[in-house]
Amino acid sequence: MTNQKERTKKSSGEVELQAETPTGESSAVVEETPAVVEERPKSPLDEVMSQAERAYAAYMDAERQVAKAYHENETQVAKAYRRAEQQASRAFDATTAQALKDREEAIAKVLKTRGEALRRAEEACNNAEEAARAAYEAAVAQATRTRENSIEKAWKVRDETIEQAWQIYSKIAR
C-alpha cells in the first residue's frame, strides 16, 4: 500500500510537471514504466487512481486552455483599446486642426473687415475734413465778399457824406 501511494504521488508529480509545460498544446501524459514490470492484478484502487490521474491531467489541460483563452482575450482587448485610443487621437488631431483652420479663417475675416472699416473710416474722415475745408473756404470767401461789399458801401457812404459836407460847406462859404 505504501508503494502504491508513492507510485501515485510520483505519477501525480509527473502529471503536474507535464501540465506546467508551456507548450500551448495538449500533451498526453506519459508514464515511465519501470524496467521490471511486476505482474500484479489491477485492483479497483489502481483503476480509480488511474482515472483520478487522467481527470487531473484533463483538468490541468483545461486550466492551461482557459489561461490561454484569457491571455488571448486580454491581448485582443489591449489591441482593441490601442485601436480605440489611436482612433480617438486621430479624431482629436483632426478636430484640433479644423478648429485651428476655422480660427485662422475667422481672424483673417475679422482683420479684413477691420481693414475695410478703417479704410471707410479714413475715407469718411478725409471726406469730412475736405467738406469742412470747403465750408471754411466758402465761409471765408463769403465773409471776404461781404467785407469788401461793406467796405465798398462804407467808402461810398463816406464819399457821399464828404460830398454832401462839401456841398454844405460850399453853400455856406459862398
Q: Average pLDDT, stretch 29-43?
A: 55
CA-wise closest residue to 56 among 6, 5, 3, 19: 19
What is the number of structural domains in the chain?
A: 1
* Least reliable range by pLDDT among 33-37, 49-53, 58-62: 33-37
**Residue 110 in domain:** yes
> How many C-alpha atoms does 102 have within 13 Å on its Cβ side?
6
The model's pTM is: 0.43
Q: Is 91 within the bounds of a domain?
A: yes
pLDDT of residue 12: 43
Quick check: 30 pLDDT over 60? no
pLDDT of residue 26: 45
Residue 155 lies in a domain: no
> Is the CA virtual torsion 98, 101, 107, 108 positive or negative?
negative
Residue 88 is part of which domain span? 48-144
- Centre a 10 Å sphere on the Cβ of residue 14 and count the other Cβ atoms it contains: 16
Q: Place 86 in a pLDDT band, splitting at 50, 70 and 90.
A: very high
Residue 166 lies in a domain: no
Structural domain contains residue 21: no
Residue showing cell 475734413: 129
